[in-house]
Structure 1
Amino acid sequence: MTAISEQSSSSPAGFVGLYKRIIKLPEHIPFSLVQFAARVAAAHVFWQSAQSKLASWPVTLQLFANEYNLPFIDPSIAAPLATTAEITGSVLLFFGAFSRLGALMLLGVVSVIQIFVYPENWAEHLLWASLLLLVLTRGAGVFSLDYVAERTLSASGK
């Protein structure tokens, strides 16, 4: 076997080789960075929503009573529940503390919004749900209090 044929079998040369190396570059991004970005992005969306509700509570109550029309729950109960879930879930996600619980809470919020309030905004809800599902299924990553707690507890259990 010649040196040229050995080189082409291990890594293609020319444009094809360059292309293959370039498309594999994102594989070097640490997954924990992806988890962190998902957590922060989702937390931001729901934090902003909660802040909007709190900034004008009378308007929030009117929206829950007149526009959102949630079945099975009184608007005076639904508004504080939704706001509390958004604040709590956002904080848990941002800090990565009990992040799977926070993601699950916010997935509940997204589900209610999708099913009962704005079903036509499914693409936006799917985006939020995707970020939350990443955290729910894969955890918060190394840039989180969950990771610190897990390492601390596993070290103390040795």
Structure 2
Amino acid sequence: MTMMTPVSMHKRAGLAGLYSHALCIASSVPISVVQLVARAAVANVFWQSSQSKLVSWPVTVQLFAFEYRLPVLDPGVAAVLATAAELSGAVLLFLGLFSRFAAVMLLAVVATIQVFVYPGHWGEHLTWAALLLFIIARGAGMISLDHFAGRFFSRER
């Protein structure tokens, strides 16, 4: 069996050649670009959520008291914790600073929402979780403050 390289794959004729060429193009997208887009996408979700909470704090506390009803936590405390996690997590992810920590924190928020608040919205939560798990597994990428900090501190030794 002959091993086909990406160059020889897209030399095929017809539909198979077109498909192979598309795969070659997709494979050439740097993973750091994918990591940047994943970070920006999920950061945007939590940034928007935190901003909506901050716009009307009394309404936010009421939502935590009457709709979200998290067990054990006082609604005021839960509102502060959720807003702080969403706001700081979104900023850290967008900047690519302490990205894995931010992703773990936001994954905990997603898990809380899934289990206690909106268990029927698992499809949306799964999308957020997938992006966050990707960031946890692969990091922030080369287009991040994590990467620049790592390079800076590795030179210090």
Give the equivalent residue in structure 1 for 2:143: 143
1 CA distance for matches of 2:12 and 2:53?
A: 58
Q: CA deviation at 1:44?
A: 0.6
Partner AA of 1:80 in structure 2: V
Give the equivalent residue in structure 2 for 1:65: 65
Give the equivalent residue in structure 1 for 2:12: 13
Q: Which runs of 5+ in 1 are unaligned?
A: 1-9
Give the equivalent residue in structure 1 for 2:104: 104
Give the equivalent residue in structure 1 for 2:4: none
Q: CA deviation at 1:18?
A: 3.1
Question: Where in structure 2 are the equivalents of 1:56-95 lying within 5 Å?
Answer: 56-95=56-95
Give the TM-score normalised by the residue count of structure 2. Answer: 0.91
SS at 2:71 equivalent:
coil
Please say if 1:51 is aligned against 2:44.
Answer: no
Give the equivalent residue in structure 2 for 1:5: none
1 CA distance for matches of 2:62 and 2:128?
A: 25
Q: Which has the larger radius of gyration?
A: 1
Q: CA deviation at 1:148?
A: 0.2
Q: CA deviation at 1:19?
A: 2.5
2 CA distance for matches of 1:49 and 1:17?
A: 45
Moved more, 81-90 or 16-25: 16-25
2 CA distance for matches of 1:103 and 1:147?
A: 16
1 CA distance for matches of 2:81 and 2:101?
A: 16
Partner AA of 2:40 in structure 1: V
Q: CA deviation at 1:17?
A: 2.6
- The number of residues matched between the two structures is 148
Give the equivalent residue in structure 2 for 1:4: none
Give the TM-score normalised by the residue count of structure 1. Answer: 0.90
Give the equivalent residue in structure 2 for 1:6: none
2 CA distance for matches of 1:156 and 1:148?
A: 13
Q: CA deviation at 1:21?
A: 1.8
**Pairwise CA RMSD:** 1.1
1 CA distance for matches of 2:32 and 2:108?
A: 24
1 CA distance for matches of 2:94 and 2:22?
A: 32
SS at 2:22 equivalent:
helix
Please say if 1:134 is aligned against 2:134.
Answer: yes
